[in-house]
């Protein structure tokens, strides 16, 4: 009887020990899986937003605030394949929910310093945000295949012509040729720049188009991001109204 009791106790302890050992192994494996998922998330974000090139990773790691884009020919094949799920099987994962991505997508807060960038103009040359320091800027993100962006274009041109003291700058993406065609079609006379994929959109924490930021003379975001035609038109009207109020006060 005593021997049977001792064997039962020993077996219980063996079972407990094996259970603890298995639990520990599961925790270790779970930790490894989480680390691998974290790394996969980063790589998928690179695929989705076209940041897989080593030069851009080095810029990010060294803390360089400027995104320099010297190439005039834009290669969209990476993002196009990612959006359609064609090509590399890994790109199919780029259709995952935005909520699962670790990339900030809700815009920068007012009072935040606007991220610096330098991009090619579709008419030739380059333009950086630093060159506009001392001026107020209406920075608009667009896309040649975005219907609302085309609806917004005439309003932007009108605002640009009426508010000469405010620099209207558009950042688009896609092929230079199709962007030049849109520029001509809409009669735009303000600078239109091209990002390669989403690199500047990512800096400004928003990937929707059209969307706009108002940036003050010191390079600080003066108001939270405006997304959509109505919001951007309202932002322009508010800016125009505040300028008229200030001018009337100064006249008195």
* Nearest alpha carbon to residue 225 among 208, 200, 244, 243: 208
Whole-model pTM: value is 0.62
- How confident is the model at residue 171, as a pLDDT? 98
Residue 26, pLDDT > 90, answer no
User: Residue 234 belongs to a domain with what CATH number?
Assistant: 3.40.30.10
Residue 170 binned pLDDT confidence (cut-offs 50, 70, 90)? very high
For residues 77 and 14, the model is more confident at 14
Q: Are residues 126 and 75 in the same domain?
A: no
Give the pLDDT mean for 25-35.
65
Q: How far apart are CA 194 and CA 214, in angstroms?
A: 19
- Per the structure, the complete domain to which residue 66 belongs is given by 2-95
Domain total for the chain? 2
Question: Among 38-52, 171-185, 225-239, which is the least confidently predicted range?
Answer: 38-52
Residue 236, pLDDT > 80, answer yes
Q: Are residues 138 and 178 in the same domain?
A: yes
Backbone CA torsion sign across 80, 205, 56, 180: positive
DSSP labels, 145-176 = T-HHHHHHHHHHHHHHHH-TTEEEEEEE-S-H
Residue 110, pLDDT > 70, answer yes
- How confident is the model at residue 23, as a pLDDT? 76
């Amino acid at each position: 009887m005593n021997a049977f009791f001792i064997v039962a106790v020993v077996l219980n302890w063996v079972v407990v020990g094996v259970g603890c050992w298995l639990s520990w192994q599961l925790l270790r494996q779970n930790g490894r899986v989480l680390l691998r998922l974290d790394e996969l998330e980063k790589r998928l974000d690179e695929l989705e937003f076209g940041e897989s090139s080593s030069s851009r990773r080095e810029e990010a790691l060294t803390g360089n605030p400027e995104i320099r884009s010297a190439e005039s020919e834009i290669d969209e094949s990476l993002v196009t394949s990612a959006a359609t799920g064609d090509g590399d099987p890994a790109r199919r994962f780029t259709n995952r929910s935005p909520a699962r991505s670790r990339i900030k997508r809700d815009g920068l807060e007012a009072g935040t310093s606007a991220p610096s960038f330098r991009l090619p103009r579709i008419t030739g040359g380059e333009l950086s945000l630093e060159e506009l320091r001392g001026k107020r800027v209406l920075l608009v993100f667009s896309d040649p295949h975005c219907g609302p962006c085309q609806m917004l274009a005439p309003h932007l041109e009108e605002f640009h012509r009426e508010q000469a003291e405010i620099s209207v700058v558009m950042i688009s993406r896609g092929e230079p040729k199709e962007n030049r065609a849109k520029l001509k079609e809409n009669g735009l006379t303000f600078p239109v720049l091209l990002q390669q994929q989403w690199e500047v959109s990512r800096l400004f924490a928003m990937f929707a188009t059209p969307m706009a930021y108002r940036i003050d003379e010191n390079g600080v975001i003066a108001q939270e991001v405006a997304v959509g035609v109505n919001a951007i038109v309202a932002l322009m009207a508010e800016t125009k109204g505040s300028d008229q109020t200030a001018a009337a006060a100064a006249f008195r």
